[in-house]
């Protein structure tokens, strides 16, 4: 069982989008039983108010025919580092925040999603940009590259 945690700041836009897109890819390849996938945020403010997936994320997933169920924000915890095999951040700031939560990445588990592509970069936060389509395209690119990296 390969355990993957996608992480962004608030766990309502990018990381649940990546979780859902990757889970859909796994289903399409018949690999869903080989994985445990979740997402979390580095901040807990959305968890405190029991925030679900942002409406912009829901809309872009629906437009692209990606099925999903509700996900409620949760803050990443130190114990997540030991539990998950891959901790995949959306941007460099997320990595700094993850290291603040878990300490030094001694097992080299933490990477940005787009580090698995031929064009490593941050995934911009649509909470601030309003561009959920751009985020979706980046997430699909990153999830595709990550699945190829796993070579299953």
Q: Which residues are catalytic?
A: 8, 14, 125
**Residue 95 φ then ψ, to 5°:** -65, -45
Distance CA(124)–CA(107), nearest Å, equals: 26
Q: Which helix (H) or strand (E) holds 135?
A: helix 132-150
Q: CB under 8 Å, gap of 24 or more: what pairs does 99-103 form?
A: 100/42, 101/42, 101/76, 101/77, 102/76, 102/78, 103/78
Within a 10 A sphere around the Cβ of 69, how many other Cβ atoms? 6
Give dist(CA 112, CA 81) in Å, integer: 15
Distance CA 21, CA 15 (A): 10
């Amino acid at each position: 069982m390969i355990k993957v945690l996608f992480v962004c700041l608030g766990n309502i836009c990018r990381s649940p989008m990546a979780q859902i897109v990757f889970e859909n890819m796994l289903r399409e390849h018949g690999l869903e039983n080989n994985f445990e996938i979740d997402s979390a945020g580095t901040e807990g403010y959305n968890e405190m108010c029991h925030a679900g997936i942002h409406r912009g994320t829901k809309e872009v997933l629906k437009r692209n025919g990606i099925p999903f169920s509700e996900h409620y924000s949760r803050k990443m915890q130190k114990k997540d580092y030991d539990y998950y095999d891959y901790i995949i951040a959306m941007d460099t700031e997320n990595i700094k925040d993850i290291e603040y939560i878990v300490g030094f990445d001694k097992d080299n588990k933490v990477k940005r999603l787009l580090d698995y592509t031929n064009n490593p970069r941050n995934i911009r936060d649509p909470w601030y940009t309003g561009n959920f389509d751009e985020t979706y395209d980046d997430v699909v690119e990153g999830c595709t590259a990550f699945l190829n990296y796993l070579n299953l």
